[in-house]
Structure 1
């Protein structure tokens, strides 16, 4: 049993597909299959149930995977800790977020000063981010919803108003402020279930006793204002989106409800080693948003 075999097994176990695992690992599929067969022979039990070309992790494999995940995570943490102790300012920082828009400005000021840090971003729902943290697939999560897990810690980046965006010619466009009752029957643009915008609109409409009429589910923030401008519907958008809105045909209105807010946080696992590079990006993001909040309060 060697480390390479364990990493091969870990990848196949997560994907439950030898072909996709071979592609991800960049090895030949026959070689990967032989490595798995040797590992099972060494252990004395099958780790997968095989049905033709399909494989499924069995109870032996599931038990073994839990230990392998833990062992490989410890080894990866040890290597990163030694690099940090040696003063090597490099490494890979993996970040998952519900929306990448919130990261654009912190990245703009972080990347030039850290050329040896390899930042890798992905988009995910809150449930997906919790799983990625537990499995060690990401170092940090930037989320607008609490993530489950006793070992997950977080720091607030931004606490902001969520506003209503409507087409300029909409019946509510000139109001400046609206109540939830004013939104009865309005067609809404929002995200798929699992994302904070969907959770917020469903919670507010349920509280107000209103039926929610969704006409579009999507995650492309770049086209949201165009869809509103086209008259497809209205949407809840965080105040941060004001910077991304370059149109003059979308009206922003305050919502007369104290719960119509977003709290953006950065989260990480407390029970694993967080590299210096990841710590620096986390702290940089916190400082960036706090400086923005202070600048905003001074200008009011």
Structure 2
């Protein structure tokens, strides 16, 4: 068993598709298929279930993947440590967040304070964040919903109210607050399942025994306000968008939601046993030394 087999297996397990894995690896599909077949022969057990042209990890494959992820992550940490030791800079820090607006200002301040740090930023949903932390693709996640794992550490950064954004002239325009039941027949602009806005929307409606009506589902939370201002629906938007002055560029009206815990909790999450470059350590220290943001809005 060699490192190449493990890399190929990890990539195939990620995509559960031979062709996509081959494209990601930059090799021919038959090479990937043969490598996986040799690995299964060496282990004495199939790792995937084949259904026509599709494949899925079986129980043996899922079990093996956990060990492969841990082993390759440790190896990658060693490579990072050696490279960082030989570099003049601070090394690289990888950060994933669900909404880029969340981290933009803080990241700009960090870069100004530490110009030698190599920063990589990813936009990911919660499921992708879990994977990125597990395989060492990122050092930190700025998450708006809990990430689970016995090997994960987290620190709360801030809490902020989540507001209802409505188009100008909407029947809620001018209201101080609305209830979930009042919103029941309104079409919502929101994100796909897996993003925190959708999770919050579904939870608020489920608490009332209701399901939201959706007019638009997307993967770009930052586009929601534009779609709302165009009259395509209403939507839940973090208070930071109002504080950032986006309403002057994308006009909407802001209304408080009269429901328990209509808020977002931002946490910084990292893997306890992962190697952290000097840049990553500086970033964590930087966040801990200053208020992350202040976007709680008092009711008028």
* TM-score normalised by the chain length of structure 1: 0.79
Report which stretch shifted further, 19-28 or 148-157: 19-28
Establish whether residue 250 from structure 1 lines up as the match of residue 252 from structure 2.
Answer: yes
Using the TM superposition, give the Cα deviation of residue 165 of structure 1 relative to its aligned residue in structure 2, in angstroms: 1.2
Q: Map Cα deviations across residues 111-151 of structure 1 (whole Å, 9 max, x no partner).
A: 45344514141321x23323433344432222111112222
Residue in structure 2 matched with residue 284 of structure 1 by the alignment: 286
Distance 1:128 1:24 in 2: 16
Distance 1:179 1:53 in 2: 49
Q: How does 1:99-138 map to 2 (within 5 A)?
A: 99-112=99-112, 113-115=114-116, 117-124=118-125, 126-138=126-138
Report which stretch shifted further, 140-149 or 41-50: 41-50
Distance 2:224 2:131 in 1: 28
Structure 2 unaligned segments of length 5 or more: list them. none
Please state whether the residue corresponding to 2:248 is helix, strand or coil: coil
Please state whether the residue corresponding to 1:233 is helix, strand or coil: coil
Checking the alignment, whether the CA contact within 8 Å between 2:151 and 2:272 is kept in structure 1 is: yes
Please state whether the residue corresponding to 2:204 is helix, strand or coil: helix
Residue in structure 2 matched with residue 218 of structure 1 by the alignment: 218
* Change over 3 Å in CA distance of 1:179–1:63 after alignment to 2: closer
Checking the alignment, whether the CA contact within 8 Å between 1:91 and 1:277 is kept in structure 2 is: yes
Checking the alignment, whether the CA contact within 8 Å between 2:95 and 2:140 is kept in structure 1 is: yes
Report which stretch shifted further, 151-160 or 279-288: 279-288
* Change over 3 Å in CA distance of 1:287–1:218 after alignment to 2: farther
Please state whether the residue corresponding to 2:156 is helix, strand or coil: strand
Structure 1 unaligned segments of length 5 or more: list them. none
The equivalent position to 2:268 in structure 1, one of 266, 269, 274, is: 266
Checking the alignment, whether the CA contact within 8 Å between 1:185 and 1:211 is kept in structure 2 is: no
Using the TM superposition, give the Cα deviation of residue 262 of structure 1 relative to its aligned residue in structure 2, in angstroms: 1.0
Q: Which has the higher helix share?
A: 1
Please state whether the residue corresponding to 1:284 is helix, strand or coil: helix
Computing the radius of gyration from Cα coordinates, the structure with the larger value is 1
* Structural RMSD (CA): 3.4
* TM-score normalised by the chain length of structure 2: 0.79
Residue in structure 1 matched with residue 96 of structure 2 by the alignment: 96
